[in-house]
C-alpha cells in the first residue's frame, strides 16, 4: 500500500521504522503522532490585520510538536499550531477553518520552531536585507558554511511601506488555524561533518508535517482538507513544490525512513512569493532575463560568451515545456517571452501602480521615468527599456550553479561530507575548483526531480494543488521573471485556478497585497466568513 494512498486516517503507528541518521531506531508507538488537543497554552496578542486594523486575538498555542516518529533532528522536525478562540471579544469556532501552513524557510537554510513562544515568532535566526530591499535572501545570496545556522524567511516579507508582513499572524487574525513547520536545511552537519539537511530534506520534512496534520483529522482544529501553504523565496519554491507534488510516491522511501504519518501530503491551495525554483534550468532563464545588465558587485556586464551559451540552453528548455501563455497568448518561446512578459504582466503592473498614485505623484514618477508612455490610463513600454529601468542584476553568471561551487544552491546539493556539488552538466564542464568527473553524480538527477515543481506538473500529478497564488517583484533579480511565469502557465495549462501578478518596482521578498491573499483563501476554500458566536 502506498503511503500517500490513505488520506485522512486517524494516526500513524504500528509500522516498521528504519534507523535515523544517528543509527538509533525509534520504538513503535500507536499514539506517537496523535495530536494532543488539550496540550495548549492560551495566549492573548494584538495583531494588525491585513486591512490595517488592530485586533485583540485570544488563541490556543501548541509549541514544538515533533511531526515524525523517527526524527533526524527534532529541533527542526517539529511544528507549532495556533488556533483563534476569541477575536475582539467575540468567540471564534475554528473547527472547520482553513489551515494556513506557513513555512519560514529562506535560502534553503534550516528553520526551527523549537523556541517559539507564540504565533509568527520565535524563529531562530533573522531575515537579511539586500540591495533590492529584500526581506529574504535566495540561497545563492546566503552563506553556505556548514555551521547549522538558521534562516527565517518564508514568513518574513515586506509590504509596500517597508513593513514586515507575517501571514501566520494575518491568518490567525482572520480566524484561520495556523500551522508553522520547521524543516532541516542545507547548512546542517552532524558531529562527523556529514550534511543532513541538503536536498531533498526540506521538502520531505514539510511533506511529513502536512501528513501529521492530515493524519489528525477531527482531532487537530481546522479543516485538514483545506490546507493552504505559504512561503517566500526558497520557502516559496518549497510551497510550490508541496502544491505540485502532493502524494507523489517518489518521496515514499524518505518519508517512511522518518516515520511520517500514513496520510496524504496533498495540500488544497498554494501561496508562493518569488519562488527560487526550477534550479537546473535557472541559470539559462536568468541569463535570458538579465544577461545584458551589469552586476551590482562589479558594475560590469558578465561574461557574454557564457551568458549567450546559457541563453541558448533556456531556449531549448522553454521549447521542450510546450507551455501556452495565459489569456490565449499561444506557445511560449524564448523569442516571444519578452512580448508576453510585457503585455501579460509588466504593463498591467505598471498601470496599476500608476493608477493608484495621486495625480501629482503620478506626474512626478512619469517625469522621472520617461521610458513609460502613459495614455488613456494605461502604461506602455518596451522590454529593453524595462531592463534598463531595473538596472543592475544581483547575481553573476552562472547565477545558481556557480563554476566555483560558491552558491547556496551548490550547497543545497551537497552530500555526506561534501559541502557543495554541481547540479548541471554545463557548470561541471566549466568547473574552476578542480572537481573531477565528467558526469554529474548519479544521485543528482533524482534529487533535481524531487526539488522541482515543474517535474511534477509535467507528469500531470492528479493530487496537486488546484489553486495557486504566485507573486514576484518586477525588480527582483534574485531569479528570472520567467520562473514564476512558467509555473503559472504550467498550472493554467492543466486547468488549475491561478492568480499571478508582479509587483511594480518591488524587490525580492515583497508582499504588497496580503489582504487580498487572506480574502483569496476564504474564496477558494469556501470559508466565506469567520464563524462567531
Confidence (pTM): 0.89
What percent of the chain stands above pLDDT 90?
82
Residue 334 has pLDDT above 90, yes or no: yes
Which residue did the predictor score with more confidence, 30 or 199?
199
> From start to end of 318-380, where are the E strands?
324-325, 330-331, 373-375, 378-380
Each residue of 200-229: b (16+ CB within 10 Å) or e?
bbbbbbbbbbbbbbbbbbeebbbbbbbbbb
Burial zone of 325 (CB within 10 Å; 0-12 exposed, 13-18 middle, 19+ buried): buried
What are the angstrom distances between the C-alpha of 367 and each of 92, 361, 372?
50, 10, 9
Q: What is the mean pLDDT of residues 117-144?
A: 47
Burial zone of 439 (CB within 10 Å; 0-12 exposed, 13-18 middle, 19+ buried): exposed
For the segment 9-58, what is each residue's pLDDT rounded down to a tens digit? Answer: 223 322 222 334 433 333 344 468 999 999 999 999 999 988 889 999 99
**Which candidate, 235, 183, 241, places its Cα nearest to that of 67?**
183
Q: What is the mean pLDDT of residues 463-488?
A: 98
Return the pLDDT at 160. Answer: 57
Residues 6+ apart with CB under 8 A from 55: 46, 47, 48, 49, 87, 88, 173
Q: Which single residue is written with the C-alpha cell 498591467?
A: 348
* C-alpha to C-alpha distance for 81 and 304, rounded to whole angstroms: 50
Which residue did the predictor score with more confidence, 163 or 421?
421
Return the pLDDT at 528. Answer: 73
| Domains of the chain, earliest start first | 1-76+99-335+393-527 (3.40.50.1820), 342-388 (no CATH)
- Please, which pLDDT band fits residue 159 given cuts at 50, 70 and 90? low
Q: What is the mean pLDDT of residues 446-451?
A: 98
Q: What is the chain's Cα-based Rg?
A: 22
Return the pLDDT at 23. Answer: 35
- Please, which pLDDT band fits residue 478 given cuts at 50, 70 and 90? very high
Q: What is the mean pLDDT of residues 107-128?
A: 76
Return the pLDDT at 139. Answer: 59
Kind and range of the H or E run holding 48: strand 41-48
For the segment 338-380, what is each residue's pLDDT rounded down to a tens digit? Answer: 999 999 999 999 999 999 999 999 999 999 999 999 999 999 9
Return the pLDDT at 50. Answer: 84
For the segment 490-532, what is each residue's pLDDT rounded down to a tens digit? Answer: 999 999 999 999 999 999 999 999 999 999 999 999 997 544 4
Residue 6 has pLDDT above 90, yes or no: no
Average pLDDT, the chain: 88
- Please, which pLDDT band fits residue 288 given cuts at 50, 70 and 90? very high
Return the pLDDT at 144. Answer: 36
Return the pLDDT at 28. Answer: 40
Half-sphere exposure of 11 (CA within 13 A, CB side): 16
Return the pLDDT at 9. Answer: 28
Return the pLDDT at 238. Answer: 98
Looking at residue 221, the DSSP 8-state letter turns out to be S
Q: What is the mean pLDDT of residues 110-128?
A: 73
Q: What is the mean pLDDT of residues 390-412?
A: 97
Q: What is the mean pLDDT of residues 305-326?
A: 98
CA distance between the termini of the chain: 43
For the segment 236-265, what is each residue's pLDDT rounded down to a tens digit? Answer: 999 999 999 999 999 999 999 999 999 999
Residue 215 C-alpha cell reads as 493524519
Return the pLDDT at 27. Answer: 36
Asked whether 110 and 150 are in contact (CB, 8 A), the reply is: yes
Residue 461 has pLDDT above 70, yes or no: yes
What percent of the chain stands above pLDDT 70?
85
Which residue did the predictor score with more confidence, 403 or 152?
403
Return the pLDDT at 147. Answer: 33
Around Cβ 21, how many Cβ atoms within 10 Å?
14
Return the pLDDT at 141. Answer: 42
* C-alpha to C-alpha distance for 492 and 18, rounded to whole angstroms: 40
Amino acid at each position: 500500500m502506498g503511503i500517500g494512498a490513505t488520506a485522512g486516517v486517524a494516526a500513524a503507528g504500528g509500522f516498521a521504522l528504519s534507523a535515523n541518521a544517528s543509527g538509533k531506531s525509534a520504538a513503535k508507538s500507536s499514539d506517537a503522532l496523535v495530536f494532543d488537543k488539550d496540550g495548549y497554552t492560551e495566549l492573548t496578542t494584538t495583531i494588525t490585520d491585513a486591512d490595517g486594523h488592530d485586533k485583540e486575538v485570544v488563541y490556543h498555542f501548541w509549541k514544538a510538536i515533533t511531526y515524525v516518529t523517527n526524527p533526524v533532528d527534532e529541533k527542526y522536525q517539529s511544528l507549532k499550531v495556533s488556533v483563534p478562540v476569541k477575536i475582539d471579544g467575540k468567540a471564534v469556532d475554528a473547527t472547520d477553518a482553513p489551515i494556513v501552513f506557513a513555512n519560514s524557510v529562506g535560502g534553503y537554510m534550516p528553520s526551527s520552531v523549537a523556541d517559539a513562544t507564540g504565533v509568527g515568532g520565535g524563529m531562530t535566526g533573522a531575515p537579511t536585507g539586500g540591495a533590492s530591499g529584500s526581506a529574504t535572501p535566495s540561497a545563492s545570496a546566503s552563506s553556505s558554511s556548514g555551521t547549522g545556522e538558521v534562516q527565517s524567511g518564508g514568513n518574513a516579507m515586506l509590504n509596500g511601506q517597508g513593513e514586515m508582513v507575517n501571514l501566520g499572524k494575518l491568518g490567525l487574525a482572520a480566524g484561520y488555524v495556523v500551522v508553522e513547520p520547521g524543516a532541516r536545511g542545507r547548512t546542517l552537519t552532524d558531529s562527523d561533518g556529514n550534511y543532513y539537511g541538503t536536498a531533498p530534506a526540506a521538502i520531505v520534512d514539510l511533506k511529513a508535517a502536512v501528513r501529521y496534520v492530515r493524519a489528525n483529522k477531527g482531532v487537530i482544529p481546522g479543516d485538514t482538507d483545506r490546507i493552504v501553504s505559504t512561503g517566500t523565496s526558497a520557502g516559496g519554491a518549497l510551497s510550490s513544490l508541496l502544491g505540485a507534488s502532493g502524494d507523489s510516491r517518489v518521496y515514499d522511501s524518505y518519508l517512511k525512513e522518518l516515520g511520517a504519518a500514513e496520510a496524504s501530503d496533498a495540500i488544497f491551495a498554494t501561496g508562493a512569493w518569488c519562488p527560487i525554483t526550477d534550479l537546473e534550468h535557472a541559470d539559462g532563464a536568468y541569463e535570458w532575463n538579465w544577461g545584458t545588465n551589469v552586476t551590482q558587485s562589479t558594475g560590469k556586464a558578465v561574461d557574454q560568451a557564457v551568458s549567450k551559451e546559457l541563453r541558448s540552453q533556456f531556449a531549448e528548455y522553454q521549447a521542450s515545456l510546450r507551455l501556452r501563455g495565459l489569456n490565449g497568448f499561444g506557445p511560449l518561446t524564448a523569442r516571444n517571452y519578452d512580448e508576453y512578459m510585457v503585455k501579460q504582466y509588466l504593463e498591467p503592473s505598471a498601470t496599476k501602480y500608476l493608477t493608484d498614485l495621486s495625480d501629482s505623484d503620478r506626474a512626478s514618477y512619469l517625469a522621472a521615468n520617461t521610458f513609460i508612455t502613459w495614455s488613456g490610463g494605461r502604461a506602455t513600454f518596451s522590454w529593453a527599456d524595462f531592463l534598463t529601468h531595473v538596472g543592475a542584476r544581483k547575481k553573476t553568471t552562472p547565477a545558481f550553479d556557480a563554476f566555483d561551487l560558491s552558491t547556496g544552491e551548490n550547497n543545497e546539493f551537497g552530500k555526506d561530507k561534501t559541502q557543495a556539488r554541481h547540479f548541471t552538466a554545463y557548470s561541471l564542464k566549466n568547473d574552476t575548483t578542480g572537481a573531477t568527473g565528467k558526469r554529474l553524480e548519479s544521485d543528482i538527477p533524482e534529487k533535481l526531480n524531487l526539488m522541482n515543481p515543474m517535474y511534477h506538473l509535467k507528469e500531470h500529478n492528479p493530487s496537486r494543488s488546484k489553486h495557486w497564488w504566485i507573486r514576484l517583484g518586477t525588480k527582483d533579480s534574485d531569479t528570472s521573471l520567467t520562473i514564476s511565469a512558467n509555473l503559472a502557465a504550467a498550472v493554467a495549462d492543466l486547468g488549475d485556478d491561478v492568480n499571478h501578478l508582479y509587483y511594480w518596482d518591488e524587490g525580492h521578498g515583497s508582499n504588497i497585497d496580503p489582504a487580498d491573499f487572506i480574502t483569496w483563501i476564504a474564496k477558494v476554500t469556501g470559508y466565506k466568513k469567520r464563524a462567531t458566536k
